[in-house]
Amino acid sequence: MRQNVCKWYYVCPMKKFYEEGRLDRHWINNYCKGEWQKCIRYKNVENNIAHPDTMLPNGEINERL
């Protein structure tokens, strides 16, 4: 069954960055509470591929986070 929220949301650094006001809400809406299946972070976790906390759901690195 498809979940509405990514199963990693509550431990994901994107949630923390968003709550700290450092990440725009569209990332959360489009990925974490939307099409989380398309998130590169999600795919990396599922495949045990290491990735930095500063990597956005689309795979870009944002060093300002």
Which residues of the shown chain bind ligand SF4 in the complex (CB under 6 A)?
Answer: 6, 8-9, 12, 14, 31-32, 36, 39, 41-42, 57
Alpha carbons 36 and 32: distance in angstroms, whole number: 5
Which one, 26 or 57, has the nearer CB to ligand SF4? Answer: 57
Q: Cβ of residue 57: shortest distance to ligand SF4, in angstroms?
A: 4
Alpha-carbon separation of residue 47 from 17, 29, 40, 63, 65 (angstroms): 23, 23, 10, 24, 24
Which one, 4 or 36, has the nearer CB to ligand SF4? Answer: 36
